[in-house]
Structure 1
Amino acid sequence: MNEADHGAVAAKPVAGTPPLGRWTKLAFGFGAVAPGVTTGGFEFFLLIYYSQVVGLDARLVGLAILIALVCDAISDPIVGYWSDNFRSRWGRRHPMMYASALPVALGFFLLWSPPEGASQTALFWYLLVLAVTVRTAITFYRTPSAALTPDLTPDYGERTKLLSLRYFLGWTGGNAIAVWMFFILFPRSATETIADGRFNPDAYITYGIVAAVVILLSILIGSVGTHSRIPYLTPAPPKRRFTLRLIFGELFETLANRSFLALFAGAMLFGIAAGLSSGMSLYFFTYFWGFSEIETGMLFLGTFVAALIGFVLAPIVSRRMGKKRGAIIVGLVAFLGAPLPIVLRLVGLLPPNDDPFVFWFVLVAQIIDVGLIICFQILFAAMLADLVEDSEIRTGRRSEGVFNAAETFVDKSVRGIGVMAASAVLTLAVLPTGAGVEEVSADTLWWMGAFYVPLVLALWLTMIVLIAQYQIDEATHESNLRQLGR
């Protein structure tokens, strides 16, 4: 391995790196709240807000979200490659992380304050421009921040623990906003003319303000809290003259890793399925199950328990089964169980919605299922982190940013397809725009579930088949570290 072969020799991390302190771990974990809040806004609230509250055609909402995510995804590999090679006195990652804070927070606030009385065309462009701004700006935080993981610890098991904390705080922080909305904001937003606070536009203005502040704090804490580790992070490679041929050649060489391709293809299908299920979730809670704001809030409150399940379970599964085998087993249980309550309703095995059993059954099923999905996501992220050393041996470069950017690239670019699929399900089921719960027929609700279940199952199960091709286990990782002298 030499510079003539690969254009640059991978820089060595600083020797004698001190162990991670508790504050650094917590700050790194809390930094995931900002992506969690923005993702929650886009996946859970944006479609139903703009289509059912603002009155923009659901197909235009889905199209705007799709275009925004594709534009954002294009920036991912650029930001990832740039952050792998960026040279500054604050290292490769932190300048971009700091620079993203204000654009993300301000753009997210404006997203929930569209102009009153605007035409369908004006609303579409307003949504599109701000969605592109927010999604692109969050890339400049999420990609460099996530790329810190392999540098913070090279240990196979410690990476899973660190990512467990990050996912736990990201999920709980992001969902705390949703719980507050359903337990406090929406009930207090009900008026004589708008009986259901979920359909009051003023509630979403307040949401935009609170969420923007949380996003700003998360990015700043995640950046400042890991700032002290800059001297111990792998520095940028030596200066060289960048050409398009060099950039695309290195990107192709890095991403040609067979194990990465397995994760890349799996992430593509997971992103579509996640966009579909997230886009449909509030429709199922509100129309299919007929849950109130408080009941829906309790479902989001259950996510705290689910996040704890994933946080505790992932390191245990990684240690006893290995990351790949554990991800496959946990994923199969989670993804087969996810649509179970809907299936039981479609075949007539659940009582009517006014029976209290229905809510508690859905709540318990969702807590268990989301907990397993979080565990799967942690294991998946840890598998991705272990690619860094394997790729470094093959290419002579550390490409944390490229790997994370590629994963988020496919997640963002295809998640919009999932949202479009959700809007297609609503169109096929003939759900009226702006309809109240009592205005939707039983036939429409049945078809909504019937179109959704086979589609989401096919996506999830095909993804499991693809990630089975991943080849790095603990023994391979330890061998890679020995070859690199670490």
Structure 2
Amino acid sequence: MSETTATPRAPEEAAAPPGAGPGTPTSVLINFCLADFARALLSGLITSYLMVVFIPQPTSSLPVLLPAAAVTFAVVRGVGSVIDAVVDPLIAYVSDRAGGASGRRIPFMRWAVVPWAVSTALLVLTPTGHASWVNTVWVSVFMLVNLVSSSVYLVPFYALQAELVTDTHRRVWFFTLNTLFYVVGSAVVFLSPIIKGALDGAGLSELDAWRATFALFSVIGFVFAAIPAFTVRERRWVRFEPAYVPLLSSFRATLRYPNFVVLLGAYLIMWVAFTLFNATLLYYVTMLIGAPESFATVVSGLAIVVGIASYWPINALARRFGKKPLMVGACLAYIVIYAAIFWYPVVLQVMGSTTFAVLIGLLIGFPISVTNILPAAAFADLTQYDTIKTGVNRAGMFFASRNFITSLGQSLVLFVTPALVALGSTTGQATVEGVRLTAGVAAVAIAVASVLYWRYDDRHVTATIDEYNASAQDRVDHSAA
């Protein structure tokens, strides 16, 4: 059998939805979700703590490692994200056309595991411990390796997520499971300041303590990324035919659905806000609220506990009311929280810093769970909807199109965020007004996202899929009879 020849379908499989797996067992899905734990570790380190290392707070003993730190860091991250955005559709195109013995998604994940994990650790292992253009080159190279290798792993991973589960209700449950692993991984990442503090107290310099923390989590991330890549048998659970649609035609076709464009716009703007918030959370806790650095872990822990407790209600409410009302409601909750951080001097007059920080953790847990679960499930719905309408499974291109647009948006944020955080500084360190401004920008972005989510027609998409699945099952039952 050639590399581009799909496994022939048995007669009883012919009526199944295009690209659908024959009821993937829960044990396989759980194993597959380990990749989301790895994603939380490897991506979370960079999102939440890389800027902390390269743009130190005024009270930190960290050296400034990059010349013109705020500008240099912004350019390195921003340009890297632009390149990453361009690479995503290429990876999706090749993945959609593949058809090897191990499947068309899993081989990419296998090749990407090592460079993704190793580059995460090497980002902070700069050659010198002071501001140097040698460090700039080092960070630029390994940022590019990290972004490209993470795309080679994640674009096929996202596509396979959509292909493993085809029932719309079970899909919400599956993305809840993915979110659980991602949230647990995020909880582990949020221990970084505590681990760094312990290493610092054990005699390491603050810079070496951060380096050791990055190395530790990179090793753990490697293990959890490798398990699904080398154990999930894609061809057993997913039936597919390679999609020989030209690259540009496939990309344009993906953007032809108004529902997809609306959802994509909302998702893009939402992640603009998330990128701002996640990159500056440690600054919010220490510089605005006035709590110790380790208290960021407490805030994150509370959010995680509330978020996990919200999983069952979210599944029940989504089944009853659909995804859209919950996504809009979550955005409104974000607006309140971000606005409170922006107006922190007023809020601190009403309550103490500890109470304020605790409330952030308690209130943000539910909307985080909603926006981690439901938009991802909605994108998977649209992927299956397109497969039903066209008969061609281009799941990779759907998720690459999403990543392409959102990466371009996040590139802009990555250019702007370091400059905002260090607004008014002449030393490259963060300032109170700059950190505060990021919360205001995030609140405005989420407000726009809520309007776009309201325009998403969730019921039409899910009704089409449910009707198709039901008719396919009827044909299978009739054939068996």
Tell me whether the two structures share a fold, i.e. TM-score over 0.5. yes
Deviation at 1:203, TM superposition (A): 1.0
Deviation at 1:407, TM superposition (A): 1.7
1:400 aligns with 2:386: no
**Which residue in 2 is equivalent to 1:236?**
241
CA distance in 2, matches of 1:126, 1:47: 15
1:46 aligns with 2:50: yes
Instruction: Map Cα deviations across residues 84-121 of structure 1 (whole Å, 9 max, x no partner).
Output: 12110011111001111111111111112111246532
Show the 5 A alignment for 1:193-272: 200-227=206-233, 229-237=234-242, 246-272=246-272
Aligned partner letter, 1:210: L
Contact kept? 1:80, 1:402, Cα under 8 Å: yes
CA distance in 1, matches of 2:217, 2:127: 19
Deviation at 1:288, TM superposition (A): 1.6
1:190 aligns with 2:186: no
Q: How many residues align?
A: 453
**Which residue in 1 is equivalent to 2:285?**
285
Structure 1 stretch displaced more, 474-483 or 289-298:
474-483
1:454 aligns with 2:440: yes
Aligned partner letter, 2:109: M
1:479 aligns with 2:464: no
Instruction: Label 1:218 to 1:425 Cα distance change in 2 as closer, same or farther (>3 A).
Output: same
Aligned partner letter, 1:318: A
Deviation at 1:27, TM superposition (A): 1.3
Aligned partner letter, 2:141: V
One of 111, 121, 142 as aligned partner of 1:130: 142
**Which residue in 2 is equivalent to 1:369?**
364
Root mean square deviation of aligned Cα: 2.8
Structure 1 stretch displaced more, 312-321 or 137-146:
312-321
1:27 aligns with 2:31: yes
Deviation at 1:187, TM superposition (A): 3.4
Show the 5 A alignment for 1:88-167: 88-117=100-129, 119-167=131-179
Instruction: Label 1:210 to 1:313 Cα distance change in 2 as closer, same or farther (>3 A).
Output: farther
TM-score (norm 2): 0.86
Unaligned runs of 5+ in 2: 1-5, 57-61, 476-481
Instruction: Label 1:184 to 1:154 Cα distance change in 2 as closer, same or farther (>3 A).
Output: same
CA distance in 1, matches of 2:52, 2:451: 33
Instruction: Label 1:222 to 1:337 Cα distance change in 2 as closer, same or farther (>3 A).
Output: farther
Contact kept? 2:267, 2:375, Cα under 8 Å: no
**Which residue in 2 is equivalent to 1:440?**
none
TM-score (norm 1): 0.85
Aligned partner letter, 2:78: L
**Which residue in 2 is equivalent to 1:177?**
189
Contact kept? 1:94, 1:223, Cα under 8 Å: yes
Contact kept? 2:88, 2:155, Cα under 8 Å: yes
Structure 1 stretch displaced more, 168-177 or 296-305:
296-305
Instruction: Label 1:292 to 1:455 Cα distance change in 2 as closer, same or farther (>3 A).
Output: same
State, as a whole percentage, how many aligned pairs show the same letter. 20
Instruction: Label 1:349 to 1:430 Cα distance change in 2 as closer, same or farther (>3 A).
Output: same
Aligned partner letter, 2:220: V
1:75 aligns with 2:87: yes
**Which residue in 1 is equivalent to 2:420?**
425
Deviation at 1:20, TM superposition (A): 3.3
CA distance in 2, matches of 1:408, 1:26: 24
CA distance in 2, matches of 1:66, 1:162: 32
Instruction: Label 1:256 to 1:12 Cα distance change in 2 as closer, same or farther (>3 A).
Output: farther
CA distance in 2, matches of 1:430, 1:39: 28
Contact kept? 1:64, 1:128, Cα under 8 Å: yes
Helix, strand or coil: the match of 1:88?
coil
Contact kept? 1:93, 1:145, Cα under 8 Å: yes
Contact kept? 1:91, 1:235, Cα under 8 Å: no
Deviation at 1:191, TM superposition (A): 7.2
Aligned partner letter, 1:461: A
**Which residue in 1 is equivalent to 2:449?**
463
Helix, strand or coil: the match of 2:315?
helix
Contact kept? 1:309, 1:375, Cα under 8 Å: no
Aligned partner letter, 2:443: L
Contact kept? 1:271, 1:410, Cα under 8 Å: no
Aligned partner letter, 1:258: P
**Which residue in 1 is equivalent to 2:59?**
none
CA distance in 1, matches of 2:81, 2:362: 28
Helix, strand or coil: the match of 2:239?
coil
Deviation at 1:483, TM superposition (A): 6.6
Structure 1 stretch displaced more, 129-138 or 455-464:
455-464
Structure 1 stretch displaced more, 96-105 or 272-281:
272-281
Helix, strand or coil: the match of 1:291?
coil
Structure 1 stretch displaced more, 100-109 or 305-314:
305-314
Instruction: Map Cα deviations across residues 270-308 of structure 1 (whole Å, 9 max, x no partner).
Output: 222222212222222222223223322222322431441
Deviation at 1:358, TM superposition (A): 1.7
Show the 5 A alignment for 1:333-348: 333=333, 335-346=334-345, 348=346
Instruction: Map Cα deviations across residues 359-395 of structure 1 (whole Å, 9 max, x no partner).
Output: 2331232232143122122110111110122212333
Instruction: Label 1:219 to 1:83 Cα distance change in 2 as closer, same or farther (>3 A).
Output: same
**Which residue in 2 is equivalent to 1:378?**
373
Deviation at 1:122, TM superposition (A): 1.8
CA distance in 2, matches of 1:171, 1:330: 17
Aligned partner letter, 2:395: E
**Which residue in 2 is equivalent to 1:4?**
none
Contact kept? 1:37, 1:211, Cα under 8 Å: yes
Aligned partner letter, 1:172: V
**Which residue in 2 is equivalent to 1:410?**
405
CA distance in 2, matches of 1:319, 1:12: 32
Aligned partner letter, 1:142: L
Instruction: Label 1:450 to 1:36 Cα distance change in 2 as closer, same or farther (>3 A).
Output: closer
CA distance in 1, matches of 2:381, 2:443: 28
CA distance in 2, matches of 1:344, 1:103: 42
